Amino acid sequence: MRNILYVTGSRADFGIIQKLLVRLNSDESTQVKVVATGMQVEPRFGNTVQYVERSGLDVIKKIPMHLTDSTAKTSLKGLAILQDSLVDIFEENDFDAVIILGDRYEMLAVANAATLYRIPIIHLHGGEQTLGNFDEAIRHSITKLSHLHLTSTEEYRQRVIQMGEAPSKVVNVGSLGVENVLNETFLPFNELISKHDLRLDFDSYLVVLFHPETFLSEYEVKKQATELRQAIEMLDTDVVIIGSNVDAGADVLSEELSKLKTKTLDFHVNFVESVSSEDFHALVSGAKAVIGNSSSGLIEVPSLKTPTINLGNRQLGRIAGPSVVQLPEFTAQDIAYAVIHSNEITDFSNPYYKGNAVDHSLEAIDSFLNNESTVTKVFYDLK
């Protein structure tokens, strides 16, 4: 029996990888165990671990990091709790591999633990760039600790190889998130708005998903949030604002956008702390545009035929298709202008699309576990 661990820290990472994990677990020779931590088990973010439990996967441990605010002090103390708790998990279980998706800071703690326990790491979404965020360095650090790399584009595959990883261990599988979008069945709109208690005009609304840039000061995060708030007021359109990650500056961002709750407006502003991936995609599919700086705006949203207004530099360096409007420096007027003209966008081709991403991933993982699951690595030098 092959024993695989996946650690989830947010609604976003699990939404992307859920179908792959369920398929892996359906193999009678494979057992997937899940540890939930970070935002997944924090009451202030809606205890989204419920979505993990509904998947039928075995959640063997919940590790609260006590993320009561978004300061570096609280984050580091939370990491210490996570690292300490992982010791017990690795002592009590014999894992054949650990799967890590992405670049969240808590995932570096997981990679450290797996390395010390000599457990092979399978990493998804390596080789990508987000130059405006801590995630950039964390992602590449995890790459160097990992043994099998499943990238979302060929360009990212080449970058991982450039970092010294053997080409045979780097596989371009495409984006699991895009495959999810193309195969999901969405709730009817009336059921969706009832489920989340939303007030929306079916014919015209916006979705906002904006995270703080962790390289910016709180003053700069507040300035960006102010411009975004003012743009929402100018656009005079129903909007759904989805809660941000618990990154440095998140509290400042939340405080600024929350000012919309106290204003008398001629449109509806809906605040939703957290939604499942399926409901997020359903909301996006009917929206006029997505405004923010989430990776989903570049990776998944184009396949929903919805324009993305990408704000700031959080995603700087990440590949983007023609339906993504880039505003690295922005004012409220810039955002409003981009939204108003977003209906002129007609090309929604997606650079992250590759058919059968889950099947490609399963094939690569199966081959690795059956033949090459070793922690020994040799630096691959480019000829």
Q: What is the DSSP string of 321-336?
A: -TTEEEESS--HHHHH
Q: How many Cα atoms sit within 13 Å of 152 on the Cβ side?
A: 27
Count Cβ atoms within 10 A of the Cβ of residue 230 and give its class: 0-12 exposed, 13-18 middle, 19 or more buried: middle
Tell me the sheet residues that pair with 116: none
Q: What is the pLDDT of residue 374?
A: 73
- The single-letter code of the amino acid at 289 is A
With respect to residue 111, please indicate whether it lies within any of the assigned structural domains. Answer: yes
Verify that 193 and 154 share a domain, yes or no: no
Tell me the sheet residues that pair with 209: 292
With respect to residue 227, please indicate whether it lies within any of the assigned structural domains. Answer: yes
Q: What is the pLDDT of residue 274?
A: 83
Verify that 235 and 278 share a domain, yes or no: yes
What does the pLDDT look like over 1-46, one tens digit per residue? Answer: 899 999 999 888 999 999 999 999 999 999 999 999 998 998 887 7
Verify that 47 and 121 share a domain, yes or no: yes
With respect to residue 91, please indicate whether it lies within any of the assigned structural domains. Answer: yes
Verify that 191 and 226 share a domain, yes or no: yes
Give the CATH number, domain containing residue 363: 3.40.50.2000
Percentage of the chain beyond pLDDT 90 is 83
With respect to residue 383, please indicate whether it lies within any of the assigned structural domains. Answer: no
pLDDT exceeds 70 at position 372: no
Dist. CA 118–CA 1, nearest whole Å: 18
Q: What is the pLDDT of residue 78?
A: 94
Q: 229: closest CA among 332, 329, 337?
A: 332
Verify that 164 and 261 share a domain, yes or no: no
Verify that 368 and 282 share a domain, yes or no: no
Verify that 63 and 192 share a domain, yes or no: no
Verify that 312 and 199 share a domain, yes or no: yes
Give the count of domains, the chain: 2
Verify that 212 and 300 share a domain, yes or no: yes
Verify that 168 and 204 share a domain, yes or no: no
Q: What is the pTM of this model?
A: 0.91
With respect to residue 379, please indicate whether it lies within any of the assigned structural domains. Answer: no
In sequence order, which residues have a C-beta less than 8 Å from that of residue 167 and are 6 or more positions away? 161, 380
With respect to residue 381, please indicate whether it lies within any of the assigned structural domains. Answer: no
* Three-state DSSP state, 263: coil
C-alpha triplet 123, 207, 268: angle, nearest 5°: 150
With respect to residue 101, please indicate whether it lies within any of the assigned structural domains. Answer: yes
Q: 368: closest CA among 92, 147, 101, 155?
A: 147
Count Cβ atoms within 10 A of the Cβ of residue 191 and give its class: 0-12 exposed, 13-18 middle, 19 or more buried: exposed
Verify that 224 and 255 share a domain, yes or no: yes
Q: The domain containing residue 225 runs over which residues?
A: 184-344
What does the pLDDT look like over 134-158, one tens digit per residue? Answer: 889 999 999 999 999 999 999 999 9
With respect to residue 27, please indicate whether it lies within any of the assigned structural domains. Answer: yes
Q: What is the pLDDT of residue 249?
A: 81
What does the pLDDT look like over 219-275, one tens digit per residue? Answer: 999 999 999 999 999 999 999 999 888 777 888 999 999 999 998 899 999 999 888
Residue 377, H or E segment: none
Verify that 223 and 82 share a domain, yes or no: no
CA dihedral 227, 228, 234, 240 (to 10 degrees): -170
What does the pLDDT look like over 68-113, one tens digit per residue? Answer: 888 889 999 999 999 999 999 999 999 999 999 999 899 999 999 9
Q: What is the pLDDT of residue 132?
A: 83
